[in-house]
Every structure is written in C-alpha cells, then in structure tokens.
Amino acid sequence: MVIIALSVTLILFFKQQADGKEDTSYLYDEIEYLKQGISRAENNSKNKTVYLSNMSHEIRIPLSTVLGMLNMLKQSDLDDDQRAQVEIADYSSEHLLQLVNMVLDNSKGIDDKIRIENETMDLKSDLSKLLKIFEYQAWDKGLEFESKFLIDEKHNFLLLGDIKRIQQVLINLINNAIKFTINGKITITIDHTVTDDDNQIVTFYIKDTGVGMSAYEVKHIFVPPEDRDSVAMRHYRGSGVGLSITNNLVDLMGGKLKVESKENEGSTFYFSLQLQKTLNIKKDKKETDSLLNQFDYKFSVLVAEDNKMNQKVIKFLLEQHGVECTFVTNGLDAVNLYKVLDFDMIFMDIYMPEMDGYEATERIKSSSKYKAHNVPIIAVSASAFEKDIERAKASGVDYFLSKPIEKDKLKDLLSKYTPKIKTS
C-alpha cells in the first residue's frame, strides 16, 4: 500500500514538473515520508521473519526428541494395538513438523526460494499411512472416511515428484475437510489412470459433506487473509493462511487448485499434477543389523549436543549402525577433546553454550591435527534455514543434517564417510 502511494506521488511530481509548476516542495516532503514508511514496513517484515524463525527452532527441538523417542518405541516389543498407537503418534508428529515448515514457507513468502524436488515416488505406498491418520481423526469425530486410489495396473509406474510438498498440500486440505464437516463423510480420491508415453496425470480430490461455502467465499478462498474481507468469510476464517500457501504450492508444482462448493452441502477441492514416469526401483528400506560392524574396528563419532534428550536420540540412531559415540555439551569441549582423542567423524550441533558449532568447527579445521588428518564434520541443527546452512558451510562443515534426523540420510552419510580400510 505504501509503495502504491509512493508511485502515485511520483507520477504527480513528474506531471507537475512537466506542466511547469514550481511549487513541488510538499511533494518532496510526501516522497520522503513515504520512503520512511517503506523502510518501517521492511523492518517490520524482517522482524516478523526472525520471530517466526526463532519460534520454529524452539518447536523443532522438542519435536525432534518426540520423533526420536517414538522411533525407539517402534523398535521395542509392542503388541498390535500398541504399535498402531505409536504409529498414529509418529505420523501425527510428522504432520506437526510439516505444519511448522508450512508456517516457515509463509514467512519467507512462496517464491523462488522454495524449490520443488523431484524424487522417485510410489504414491499409493507413500500416501497410505498419511491417509490412515486422517481416517482415525475422522472416526474420532464420528465421520465416515474413505480413501481410494484409481490405478490402471497395466500402466502403473513409479513417478518423479515432490512427495513432501504433495503431502503438505493434502494435510492442509484434509484437515480443513474434517474441521468443517459436522456429520457425513470425507472422501479422498487419487486418480492416476490418465497417462501418455512419458507422463502421468494424477488428480487429487478432497470431498466433504460439510458446511460448504457461498459463491463469494469460493471466489476469494485463496486470497491471503490480510487482503480479504474477514466478515464475509464466515466458515473458512481459520484457514486462510494455510489455503493461500497450499494454492501457491500447487502452482509451483505445475498444477491449479480448484474448489466446488454449495452452502450446507459440502465442498470438493481438487488439483492435477503432470508427473514424469520412471522405471527406477525405489531403495529397499529393510533395516540392517548394522551398517558399520562389518569392519574390524569401532567407528568412532564425537557428538557435540547440549540437549540431554537429543543425545539419547542421536545415540540410539548411531548405535543402530555399530557406531561408538562420545558426547560433549558445548563447542569448547568438542575442540579440546578433539585435540587429545581420535574420531572418524564429528556431529556438531550449531547452537550450544560457551562456544557455538560455527566457531568450534573453524577452530578444529584450523588445527595442525586436522590438516594432517581431516575428519568429516557434520552440522546438526533444528534450525535448517538457508542462512544457517550457508554460514555452516562457510565455517567448513562437510554436510548439514537437519533435525529431526532422517534415518535414510544418516545411513547414507555414514556409508559415505566410513573408511573402507582401517590400518593399525
């Protein structure tokens, strides 16, 4: 709004000059005032982004511990009911993590900073567990829930796409469907029967028998809440930010989010994505007893982590691969211990008391011991923002691993940096 006013003022200014009018001093004052307004608006925007970033970091730390502990529970001896309960808690926590990431996306603005990743997907396998969570949520509210995959088995290919973004879109849309349905049914249909030589068109339908929307609401549903008439948006007043982000994410993936709705009858949100076929086989995700114990030595890792619960999680994940862990609680202790003991790898938390991970990494890499034998340093943090990653790389880390730690990424890292021969 300030920028528009400045533009109008400039047009008037130049028009007056062109007309030969000399009394333009008030326009100079107005331009200066509007410039100051733009500066204040930019500062407010930066402060908002910093606040959201800090809050995200604070949320991700305990959430990382929750996910780690649930993973440990899944490895224990559970009966069928307990295992189902743990799985629901696990996927609900993953859902919460994606919501946190969604808020972050909004704080940055959905623009070219948000990159769509292409990875191999088996949509039915990758989405079935997510839909199961919503089935429990719907049942808890007394609603029917149906999910179906329409697949032509003769043309059933693995596809390339961003499964996390697809899940993020579905999470928000299905959440809203359950939230705004008092009684009746939620139906999720994923249709990938439309195909050509190289691509498959996958269409996602989220249908509810809820409160529905007026024609005005349908027209304005994807408008950001700050640009919307909040009085007129009766039913969807709590979902504006999420739907605006969801709409932008679908756009980024090359689709178009649409809605059909009738008041007191329900709504159907749907979108189509053109996804490339692939014959690549997905990696076998069977757990192995140990990745590293095939060697005749203990793979030794120094872990700098000040949170005791996160220490337990990291210890559990590393010991699954035969790793021997040594823990310190700050960067200074990591530097001092590195001087006297030998390690095959260092896991370095970024934010720690006394000395942070950036400075500790720089000190280790500048030491004579490191120059003689460069040990890989992995930055670990719940604060996985671009500036954090850039600063970590500038300090010399070999890789940035965000919390919660993904088991497949951890396994790949250990495989990459495990020496194939250890000489005594």
Report cis status (omega within 30 of 0) of the bond before 419. Answer: no
Domain 299-417: CATH superfamily is Response regulator (3.40.50.2300)
**Nearest in space to 239 (alpha carbons), one of 185, 181, 172:** 172
Q: How many C-beta neighbours within 10 Å does residue 169 have? A: 26
User: Do residues 15 and 27 make contact, with C-beta atoms less than 8 angstroms apart?
Assistant: no
Contacts of 93 (CB under 8 A, 6+ apart): 63, 66, 67, 70
Stretches in the chain below the pLDDT threshold 70: 1-57, 95, 98-99, 101-114, 224-241, 280-297, 383-385, 419-424
Are 388 and 381 a contacting pair, CB within 8 Å? yes
Backbone angles phi, psi at 233, to 5 degrees: -85, 80
The residues near 27 (Cβ < 8 Å, ≥ 6 apart) are: 9, 12, 13, 16
pLDDT for res 2: 47
Measured CA to CA, the distance from residue 124 to residue 318 in angstroms comes to 31
Q: DSSP states of 34-55 as a string?
A: HHHHHHHHHHHHHHHHHHHHHH
- Give the domain ranges of the chain: 2-86, 119-278, 299-417
The pLDDT value given to residue 108: 53
Q: Could you say which DSSP state residue 280 is in?
A: P
Structural fold of domain 119-278: Heat Shock Protein 90 (3.30.565)
Model's pTM, two decimal places? 0.55
Token reading at 140: 């808890």
The predicted structure's pLDDT at residue 193:
79
Structure tokens at 231: 């009085």
Q: What is the pLDDT of residue 283?
A: 45
**Residue 47 pLDDT:** 60
Pick from 249, 157, 173: nearest CA to 208: 173
